[in-house]
Amino acid sequence: MRQNLIIQGGIFHEFSETSNALIKLLDPLGFKSIVFDEVEEGLEQLAHQNYSLLTINALRWEMDGEKYDPYREEWAMRLSKLAKDAIISHLEKGGAILGMHTASICFSDWEEWPKILGGSWEWGASWHPNPEKISLIPTKHELAVNNEFAVTDELYTNLNVCDESSVLLEGSCPSSLDPQPVLWVNEYRSGRVVYDSLGHTAESILHTEHASWLKSTVEWATNVREDLSR
3-class DSSP assignment, residue 182: strand
Mean pLDDT of the region 71-99: 98
Q: Examine residue 230 and state whether it is found in any structural domain, yes or no.
A: no
Distances (CA, A) of 98 to 122, 125, 179, 206, 219: 20, 24, 22, 16, 11
> What pLDDT is attached to residue 226?
40
- The secondary element (H helix, E strand) that includes residue 173 is strand 166-173
Per the model's pLDDT, the better-predicted residue between 22 and 228 turns out to be 22
Q: Is 128 within 8 Å of 172 (Cβ atoms)? A: no
Name the pLDDT band for 147 (thresholds 50, 70, 90).
confident
- The residue among 33, 1, 11 whose CA lies nearest residue 20 is 33
Q: Is the pLDDT of residue 225 over 90?
A: no
Residue 230 has pLDDT above 70, yes or no: no
Length of the chain equals 230
Residue 227: predicted pLDDT:
39
Q: Which residues contact 41 (CB under 8 A, 6 or more apart)?
A: none
Average pLDDT score over residue span 195-211: 98
Whichever domain contains 25, its CATH number is 3.40.50.880
Residue 138: phi and psi, rounded to 5, are -70, 150
pLDDT digits (tens, 9 = 90+) for 20-63: 999 999 999 999 999 999 999 999 999 999 999 999 999 999 99
pTM here? 0.96
Residues 151-161: what's their mean pLDDT? 98
Query: Considering the domain boundaries, does residue 197 fall inside one?
Result: yes
On whether residue 126 sits in a domain, the answer given is no
**Around Cβ 170, how many Cβ atoms within 10 Å?**
18
Give the pLDDT confidence of 90-128 residue by residue, as tens digits.
999 999 999 999 999 999 999 999 999 999 999 999 999
What b-and-e string marks burial along 84-104, b requiring 16 or more CB atoms within 10 Å of the CB? bebbeebbeeebbbbbbbbbb
Q: Does residue 147 form part of some domain?
A: no
**Burial class, 180, CB count within 10 angstroms (exposed 0-12 / middle 13-18 / buried 19+):** buried
- H-type alpha helices, 34-178: 39-48, 72-75, 81-92, 113-117
DSSP 8-state symbol, 21: H
Q: Is residue 114 part of a domain?
A: yes
| Structural domain of 214 | 2-121+181-221
Q: Residues of 189-223 as b/e, b for ≥16 C-beta within 10 angstroms?
A: bebbbbbbbbbbbbebbbbeebbebbebbbebbbe
Q: Is the pLDDT of residue 146 over 80?
A: no
Average of per-residue pLDDT values in the chain: 95
Instruction: Please tell me the predicted confidence (pLDDT) of residue 145.
Output: 78
* Total count of domains within the chain: 1
